[in-house]
Amino acid sequence: QVPLVESGGGLVQAGGSLRLSCAASLRPFSTYGMGWFRQAPGKEREFVAAINLSGANLYYGDSVKGRFTISRDNAKNTVYLQMSSLKPEDTAVYYCAARPYSGGSDSSQYRYWGQGTQVTVSS
Protein backbone atom coordinates (compact mmCIF):
# COMPACT_ATOMS: atom_id res chain seq x y z
CA GLN A 1 0.00 0.00 0.00
CA VAL A 2 1.32 3.42 -0.96
CA PRO A 3 1.90 5.28 2.31
CA LEU A 4 1.20 8.79 0.99
CA VAL A 5 -0.97 9.90 -1.93
CA GLU A 6 -1.09 13.53 -3.03
CA SER A 7 -3.93 15.16 -4.94
CA GLY A 8 -5.14 18.61 -5.91
CA GLY A 9 -2.45 19.73 -8.30
CA GLY A 10 -3.23 21.35 -11.61
CA LEU A 11 -2.91 24.42 -13.79
CA VAL A 12 -3.74 27.81 -12.31
CA GLN A 13 -3.15 31.41 -13.30
CA ALA A 14 -0.78 33.62 -11.37
CA GLY A 15 -2.50 35.09 -8.34
CA GLY A 16 -4.79 32.09 -8.02
CA SER A 17 -5.11 29.43 -5.35
CA LEU A 18 -4.91 25.67 -5.04
CA ARG A 19 -5.25 23.26 -2.16
CA LEU A 20 -3.16 20.13 -2.12
CA SER A 21 -4.15 17.10 -0.06
CA CYS A 22 -2.05 14.17 1.09
CA ALA A 23 -3.85 11.08 2.30
CA ALA A 24 -1.76 8.84 4.54
CA SER A 25 -2.09 5.14 5.19
CA LEU A 26 0.52 5.38 7.96
CA ARG A 27 -0.83 4.45 11.36
CA PRO A 28 -1.12 5.96 13.78
CA PHE A 29 -1.02 9.08 11.61
CA SER A 30 -0.80 11.33 14.64
CA THR A 31 2.72 10.03 15.37
CA TYR A 32 4.15 11.40 12.13
CA GLY A 33 5.39 14.88 11.43
CA MET A 34 4.42 15.89 7.91
CA GLY A 35 6.07 18.04 5.31
CA TRP A 36 5.65 19.38 1.80
CA PHE A 37 8.56 19.74 -0.58
CA ARG A 38 8.73 20.72 -4.21
CA GLN A 39 11.07 20.24 -7.12
CA ALA A 40 11.11 22.23 -10.32
CA PRO A 41 12.85 20.97 -13.48
CA GLY A 42 16.60 21.36 -13.21
CA LYS A 43 16.43 22.49 -9.59
CA GLU A 44 17.06 20.85 -6.25
CA ARG A 45 14.27 19.74 -4.00
CA GLU A 46 13.04 22.65 -1.87
CA PHE A 47 11.41 22.68 1.52
CA VAL A 48 7.94 24.23 1.44
CA ALA A 49 6.22 23.61 4.77
CA ALA A 50 6.06 21.24 7.73
CA ILE A 51 3.75 20.56 10.63
CA ASN A 52 4.28 18.74 13.90
CA LEU A 53 2.19 15.92 15.34
CA SER A 54 -0.59 18.00 16.84
CA GLY A 55 -0.57 20.76 14.25
CA ALA A 56 0.47 23.37 16.79
CA ASN A 57 3.91 24.02 15.27
CA LEU A 58 4.19 25.13 11.66
CA TYR A 59 7.30 25.73 9.56
CA TYR A 60 7.60 27.43 6.19
CA GLY A 61 10.21 28.01 3.55
CA ASP A 62 11.08 31.65 3.01
CA SER A 63 9.70 31.69 -0.52
CA VAL A 64 6.19 30.71 0.57
CA LYS A 65 5.77 32.45 3.92
CA GLY A 66 2.58 34.45 4.06
CA ARG A 67 1.15 32.73 0.97
CA PHE A 68 0.96 29.03 1.85
CA THR A 69 -0.65 27.38 4.86
CA ILE A 70 -0.07 23.81 6.03
CA SER A 71 -2.63 22.02 8.16
CA ARG A 72 -3.57 18.50 9.15
CA ASP A 73 -6.65 16.56 10.14
CA ASN A 74 -5.58 13.59 12.22
CA ALA A 75 -9.09 12.16 12.21
CA LYS A 76 -8.95 11.99 8.40
CA ASN A 77 -5.27 10.99 8.19
CA THR A 78 -4.68 13.88 5.83
CA VAL A 79 -2.37 16.86 5.54
CA TYR A 80 -3.17 19.89 3.41
CA LEU A 81 -1.28 22.68 1.72
CA GLN A 82 -3.35 25.75 0.94
CA MET A 83 -1.53 27.82 -1.66
CA SER A 84 -2.57 31.39 -2.40
CA SER A 85 -1.17 34.26 -4.44
CA LEU A 86 0.55 31.71 -6.63
CA LYS A 87 3.45 32.80 -8.81
CA PRO A 88 4.96 31.20 -11.91
CA GLU A 89 8.02 30.35 -9.84
CA ASP A 90 5.82 28.10 -7.67
CA THR A 91 5.58 25.73 -10.64
CA ALA A 92 6.96 22.35 -9.55
CA VAL A 93 6.11 18.83 -8.56
CA TYR A 94 4.93 18.93 -4.96
CA TYR A 95 5.70 16.02 -2.67
CA CYS A 96 4.21 15.06 0.64
CA ALA A 97 6.52 13.41 3.17
CA ALA A 98 6.29 11.87 6.63
CA ARG A 99 8.78 11.40 9.44
CA PRO A 100 8.27 9.84 12.85
CA TYR A 101 7.50 12.09 15.78
CA SER A 102 8.41 15.55 14.50
CA GLY A 103 8.32 17.93 11.58
CA GLY A 104 11.12 19.97 10.09
CA SER A 105 12.78 21.26 6.95
CA ASP A 106 15.46 18.59 6.49
CA SER A 107 14.30 16.29 3.70
CA SER A 108 16.81 13.61 4.69
CA GLN A 109 14.90 13.06 7.94
CA TYR A 110 11.70 12.08 6.15
CA ARG A 111 11.10 8.36 5.81
CA TYR A 112 8.07 8.18 3.55
CA TRP A 113 7.32 10.08 0.35
CA GLY A 114 4.38 10.38 -1.99
CA GLN A 115 4.56 10.17 -5.75
CA GLY A 116 4.09 13.89 -6.23
CA THR A 117 1.50 16.13 -7.84
CA GLN A 118 2.22 18.69 -10.55
CA VAL A 119 1.41 22.35 -9.93
CA THR A 120 1.74 24.69 -12.89
CA VAL A 121 1.24 28.44 -12.53
CA SER A 122 0.82 30.38 -15.74
CA SER A 123 1.72 34.05 -16.05
**Residues 64-116: tens digit of each pLDDT:** 999 999 999 999 999 999 999 999 999 999 999 999 988 799 999 999 999 99
R_g over Cα of the chain? 13
> How confident is residue 2, by pLDDT bands cut at 50, 70 and 90?
confident
Residue 66 — φ and ψ, nearest 5°?
Answer: 85, -10
